[in-house]
A = this chain, B = another copy of it.
Amino acid sequence: MPDEQWSPPLVMVTVDLVILTLRAGELNALLVERGVEPYQGEMALPGGFLNNGEEDLQVAAHRELAEEAGLDGASLHLEQLGVYGTPGRDPRGRVVSVAYLAIAPGLPEPAAGTDAAGARWQPVGAVAAGKVRLAFDHELILNDGVERARAKLEHTALATAFCGETFTISELQRVYEAVWGVEIDPRNFYRKVQGVEGFIVPDGHKATRGRPARLFRAGRSAALHPPLVRPEGAT
């Protein structure tokens, strides 16, 4: 019980980012090689300490997004994922980390940021399979982020954030298949996505090998009614 002399403990706060994209039909996360101790040389999620005592958490997340990944956050979906504050999770002392989830369309290799010795995309499957080890408790955070993304695909228009400005329905379908890890019947998918009010709106056509595909762009709805339900066996 605090007495009159007691003052609250002070802790350090970091912002960590789970940045997901699609590359070659696989779900990838952006990882950086740590340039300083602790865990120097190991892979970790991009992130870092608050700049100063007055920086907003969301602002700090956008700043790290730009610094470590070279991504302009303005057009990016960015959402709070959770807090990770188990004592001992960071050898430097008591560090509470606020995790954010960011979604980006397919991108080339990132320009290595100023802080990070090296930043690169890694398939989340490789991390889940234990092929890539992460510093701190970042594997836990990454798994939470991936699961959140999978769940959000059902109820929100998040999938369009994985695509470019415009996209075909097939491309949108490949997003769902990659993130959920399942195969979807194209005919039923066409019917369902077009039945969701305000999800996607037509925007011209695209030349391709074969019959030209209709192009769409994201509609006005953030929430999907009805939702696109994830099959039972999804990853």
Q: Helix, strand, loop or mixed for chain A's interface? A: loop
A87-B56 in contact (CB<8A): yes
Question: Smallest CB–CB gap between A15 and chain B, Å?
Answer: 10
Contacts of A57 in B (CB 8 A): 83, 85-86, 96
B53-A13 in contact (CB<8A): no
Known A-B contacts: A10-B12, A54-B94, A56-B85. Give 16 more (CB < 8 A): A9-B50, A9-B51, A10-B10, A10-B53, A11-B11, A11-B12, A13-B96, A53-B87, A54-B87, A55-B87, A56-B87, A57-B83, A57-B85, A57-B86, A57-B96, A83-B98
Contacts of A14 in B (CB 8 A): 8
B80-A98 in contact (CB<8A): no
Asked whether A114 is an interface residue with its Cβ less than 8 Å from the other chain, the reply is yes
A side interface size, CB within 8 A: 31
Task: Give A55 to B88 CA distance when docked, in angstroms.
Answer: 10
Task: Give A50 to B6 CA distance when docked, in angstroms.
Answer: 12
Residue of B nearest to A84 (CB): B57
Residue positions of A touching B, CB distance < 8 A: 1-2, 8-14, 49-57, 80, 82-83, 85-87, 93-94, 96, 98, 114, 225, 232
Most buried by B among A8, A52, A54: A8
Task: Give A225 to B234 CA distance when docked, in angstroms.
Answer: 14
A8-B85 in contact (CB<8A): no
Most buried by B among A10, A12, A14, A51: A10
